[in-house]
Every structure is written in structure tokens, then in C-alpha cells.
Homo-oligomer: A and B are copies of this chain.
């Protein structure tokens, strides 16, 4: 069972735990750019994300150019952002070594 689309207020609340991420309202998606030292580092990040994405059965839309990874998260079959996107964003921050603000 896929989760329901989050309301604007819930998305805003979720973003507090997601440093670096922003809401792109026009596309109903969460966005973030990650910058690494080189392709190898960017790729290892993508590999670790791909593994998590497969386990979640929820996949990012992402663009890679050498050391940069630009990510858009949305739940296509819900036409918006769901908890799956928030969870994947949290996982990506953790895998990139970015601590959540939630503990601050």
C-alpha cells in the first residue's frame, strides 16, 4: 500500500528534518543538489542510494554530471510528495553524511 500524498503543511514540517532540500511547488517534488570531490565519490553515493531505493521500491529522478548529483523526489502514482519521498531524502542525506537538523 503506497502512502497518501502529504499536505503542504506536512511537507513544510518534513523539510525541517531535511537540510539542503527544497520544495519545488510547480513540480510537486523535493529537490536537492549534492556535490562531491569527484565522479568516484558521486558514484559511490549513487550506488548506496540505488540499493536503498530498490529496497523501498521508490526511486529518485536524478541527474549526474561528474561530481554533481541533482535529485528530484516525487511519488508519481500519487501525483505529489508522500512520506516515501521524505524517507528517501532522509536516507540520501544520511548516505551523503549530512546530519539531520532534527537533533539540533
* B65 x A64 contact (CB < 8 A): no
Given B47, B53, B54, B63, which contacts A63 in the complex, CB threshold below 8 Å?
B63
Counting CB contacts under 8 A, is A61 at the interface? yes
Report B-chain residues with C-beta under 8 Å of the C-beta of A61. Answer: 63-65
Tally of this chain's copies: 2
CB-based contact B63/A39 at 8 Å? no
Cα distance A64–B46 in the bound complex, in angstroms:
11
Q: How far is the CA of A78 from the CA of B81 in the complex (A)?
A: 40
* 12 examples of A-B residue contacts, CB within 8 angstroms: A39-B50, A39-B54, A40-B54, A43-B50, A43-B54, A59-B66, A61-B63, A61-B65, A62-B63, A62-B64, A63-B63, A64-B64
